[in-house]
Amino acid sequence: MCVKIPNSIIEKNKKSWEAFVIGQFYSDPPAQSLIHTIVNGIWSKQYKDITVSKLEGNAFLFRIPNVGTRNHVVKQRLWQIEGQTMFVAHWEPGNLPEKPSLSSAPIWLELRNVPLQFFNEDGLERIAGLVGEPKYLHPTTANKTNLEVAKVLTIIDPRQPLPEAVNVQFESGDISRVIVSSPWMPPVCSHCKEIGHNIKRCPSAPITCNTCKSTAHSTEACTRTRGPDSKKTKRPRRHASTLKPAGVPRDKSVPPRHESRGRPPGPEKDKGIAITDVPYAKTPSTKPAVMAQLNGDQAGTSKAAGNTSVSEVESDSDDILSSDSEVEEGQYTPVKTRHMTRLGRDRGPKKN
């Protein structure tokens, strides 16, 4: 089965791919998760909304929603990710831009102590021409918003060392010294002399460390190699002290205090409120109990205590749901508590 899709559909949806740029490494790339962490740290420090997708070969697809960030990334072209050089360009489906040769590389040349008479496009072009091939000025340099550093995108040969300074001369004969630097230089492998990776990432470099199979250091300089006296000494385990702090000895004749859980402390813990016309909370573990009301006289108390139909398990006032409208101030009716009931049973009949 085959379906023919017209080019009009491709053109119709081409705009949906504007947020994507492609990055191509010149050698074996780092892990995708590591690339995702690095680009979100250096490209999108605030939003961290850049996604990374793996393509064929050493290419990756980056979705950068912010237009300003995307233009900044593409404008610099070459980026160094974990010691590897990556070429970045605009992308659309079906189009794979060709990587430029790394015999030359574009870098941001930073010039300091530039005389203000030469702080313009014509003057900076001649100064940067002593190092490489100038292309254009950085926006902060073109707008003269930062007069301390002049930034010029310049094509250089990474194999040639960058001069520390260059001299500019006025027609009067006065000479000014301009400091030259760059925040980033493409790596040059010390083994194969190719641009774009270091010896640690070089596929043709021999293994020089038998411990970690690295190509960047020897076995003697490996941090994983342990000498005969480098054994870790076990630290003694710290045990919790079993000695209790000395204090005033507790009188054993005084029973220990046990705080009741779920009830607020205070003198009201032995008091109860009889609430009539309020249904009991129906829960699987709660049984309806009969609460005895006290009328304030001794006869009522004896009658309530001697009633055999009263359940032995009496409900506490905290187990009953109530509202402020059902219990008004000044209308409380005291009830016999569980403690009072037990005391009445233990006393027995009063002797004459």
Tell me the pLDDT tens digit for each residue of 156-191. 988 888 999 999 999 999 999 999 999 878 788 888
Tell me the pLDDT tens digit for each residue of 53-104. 999 999 999 999 999 999 999 988 888 888 788 999 999 998 888 887 778 8
17-90 fold: Alpha-Beta Plaits (3.30.70)
- Residue 86: how many CB atoms within 10 A of its CB? 25
The region of weakest confidence among 25-29, 202-206, 340-344 is 340-344
Residue ranges covered by each domain of the chain: 17-90, 105-181, 274-311+332-342
Tell me the pLDDT tens digit for each residue of 103-132. 888 888 999 999 999 999 999 999 999 999
The region of weakest confidence among 29-38, 77-86, 319-328 is 319-328
Give the global pTM.
Answer: 0.49
Closest CA to 127 of 141, 140, 111: 111
What confidence tier does 240 reach under pLDDT thresholds 50, 70, 90? low
Pairs from 260-266 (Cβ < 8 Å, separation ≥ 24) = 262/318, 263/318
Sheet-wide strand order for 165-169: 133-137, 149-156, 105-112, 175-181, 165-169
State the first-to-last Cα distance of the chain, in angstroms, to the nearest integer: 112
What confidence tier does 233 reach under pLDDT thresholds 50, 70, 90? low
Given a cut of 90, is residue 297 above it in pLDDT? Answer: no
Return d(Cα 276, Cα 194) in angstroms, integer: 94
